[in-house]
Amino acid sequence: MAPPPRGFLRYRDGKSRNLCVRVDNSLSSLISGVNELSVNSSVILNELVEQEKPRGGQAREEESSDDEDDEDELKSDPQPPTKRSKT
């Protein structure tokens, strides 16, 4: 039997979660197991992103209202990089 594909997730609060998928002893089973593990981890990570959005959105609004002058600097025309001189 092939070793099962595994994943490990450590949350910000220090808790951890193991992800494991059973596979048979064939390449097609291993490939489908890796795909299943990918889907499972994507679901978990998307949930975490959704939980973080309210916090991140508020912090970004506060930063943007505090630094209105920085926005004007970012809108200036981009300049080409300076040339290096040979030494």
The answer to whether 23 and 33 have CB atoms below 8 angstroms apart is: yes
Q: What is the mean pLDDT of residues 36-65?
A: 76
Print the domain residue range for 5: 1-54
Which pLDDT belongs to residue 48?
87
Q: Say if 69 falls within a structural domain.
A: no
Poorest-pLDDT segment among 2-6, 35-39, 70-74: 70-74
Residue 4 in any domain: the answer is yes
Q: Which two tokens stand for residue 26?
A: 């064939």
Q: What is the count of structural domains for the chain?
A: 1
Q: What is the pLDDT of residue 42?
A: 92
Chain centroid to CA 69: how far? 30
Cβ atoms of 34 and 20 within 8 Å: the answer is no
At position 2, the amino acid (one-letter code) is A
> Among residues of the chain, what percentage have pLDDT more than 70?
71
Burial grade of 82 (CB within 10 A; 0-12, 13-18, 19 or more): exposed
Answer whether residue 85 is part of any domain.
Answer: no
